[in-house]
Amino acid sequence: MLGQWLALGALVGVVCGVASAAFLWLLEEATRLREANGGLVYALPLAGWVLGAVYARWGGPVRGGNNLVLETVHTGDAQVPLRMAPMVLVGTVLTHLFGGSAGREGTAVQMGGSLADWVAHRFRAGADLRRELLAAGIAGGFGSVFGTPVAGAVFGLEVVVVGRLGYEALLPALVASVVGDVVTRGLGIQHTVYPVPGALPLSVTVIGKWLVFAVGVAAVAVVFVEGLHRLKAGMEKRVPWLPLRMAMGGTAVVMLWLWVGTDAYLGLGVPGIVRAFEDPGLPVSVFAWKLAFTVVTLGTGFLGGEVTPLFFIGASLGNVLARMLGLPVDLGAAVGMAALFAAAANTPLALSIMAVELVGAGVLPHVMIVSTVAYVLTGHRGIYPAQRIGRRKD
């Protein structure tokens, strides 16, 4: 078993790492192109129409996205189609080329999941091993796309069931994530370097401030999750034809863009995250704008993920909350960034570790406190409806 876990985990890691490197390179090129040609954003409705037509025609189960991968881990039903990998990759790159506000982990998880299931199929893995390889695919995709291998492994275990972390896939997930990260970096990818916040000793006052902070994070997480689900459900009911739905979504993003009058909320928004660490005068409205852009982009069917936009929203929110509460702005941004995704995805442990891998050990007690409290406060909702509830939070 150990040999199989190491060998197949490493193989999953290699394919995930190569896929992530190609994806990140294309994403960077797309972002560069879009930044150089602002007019591309006007084509987002058209891009939505085309992507919608392609997904409507050839998507089938692929349209389930992350939830298809999670569902397959639970039920062991039909194979995750291998075509999911190229489809979500191209779809995400086009979403970003034309300025949609989306992230990367959805794409990484879906590429990783479909590639891992292909490996499982090729090596005639039994039901248990296949499930473990799927978790390894999630881990390998997540770890390699963000350059955070330990967080990737823990995410692959933690995201499957709310309130429980099973260790059955621990070794293959860690191997896939670590190997994937090494491969992606080996192919020349450089990950974003975030500012390292200064240390802040814990005290009763500081803990009290973080509790208030966590209430703010949880509230925004609920708004994001509910907004996304309601927009998605409402649009699917009223506009069942995907190409039209995505064209409408693209149009709405263009209108938001013209209204706000800045490119800051388009695409991944990495500069916006870095700014939240550093700008003591960041307007309160920033997180709300990014939230609106992202909910509209993802709620109408565009492709990508939630991590990077939620990092943007969480860091900007954290900046503002830190100033209100008298906490250091950079630490507030770092904590808000990780805790908002932790609350929205029900993954407090993975995101606390991710924060350590991104901004250092000094963030640790703080981010864990806020992530845990916000996780408990958001209740049984989350961005992945296919998550099962292993243990109720109340």
- 125 residue type, one letter: A
Query: Which of the stretches 91-99, 227-235, 289-297, 362-370 binds its own copies when contact is defined by CB under 8 A?
Result: 362-370
Report the b/e string of 262-276 with b at 16+ CB within 10 A.
eebbbbbbeebbbbb
CA dist 25 → 32, 187, 251, 296 (Å): 11, 10, 27, 25
Of 64 and 166, the one with the shorter C-beta distance to its own copies is 166
Is 138 a binder of its own copies (CB under 8 A)? no
Is 379 a binder of its own copies (CB under 8 A)? no
Site string for its own copies, 5-24 (x = CB under 8 A): xx------------------
Total residues binding its own copies (CB under 8 A): 49
Query: Minimum distance between the CB of residue 154 and its own copies, rounded to whole angstroms?
Result: 7
Nearest residue to 264 via CA among 278, 285, 281: 285
| DSSP per residue, 131-145 | HHHHHHHHHHHHHHH
Computed on alpha carbons and rounded to an integer, the radius of gyration of the chain in Å comes to 20
- Out of 203, 237, 259, 280, which residue is the one contacting its own copies (CB under 8 A)? 203
- Out of 43, 247, 357, 383, which residue is the one contacting its own copies (CB under 8 A)? 357
CA distance 164 to 87: 32
Q: Mind spelling out the 3-state secondary structure of 27-51?
A: HHHHHHHHHHCHHHHHHHHHHHHHH
Of 146 and 375, the one with the shorter C-beta distance to its own copies is 375
Query: Which of the stretches 16-24, 74-82, 304-312, 346-354 binds its own copies when contact is defined by CB under 8 A?
Result: 346-354
Of 6 and 26, the one with the shorter C-beta distance to its own copies is 6
DSSP 267: S
Q: How far apart are the first and last CA of the chain?
A: 38
- Out of 17, 301, 332, 348, which residue is the one contacting its own copies (CB under 8 A)? 348
Of 92 and 387, the one with the shorter C-beta distance to its own copies is 387
Q: Which two tokens stand for residue 225?
A: 């999750």
Would you tell me which residues interact with its own copies (CB under 8 A)? 1-2, 5-6, 149-150, 153-154, 162-168, 170-171, 174, 178-179, 181-182, 186, 202-204, 207, 211, 348-349, 352-353, 356-357, 360-361, 364-365, 368-369, 372-373, 375-377, 390-391, 393-394
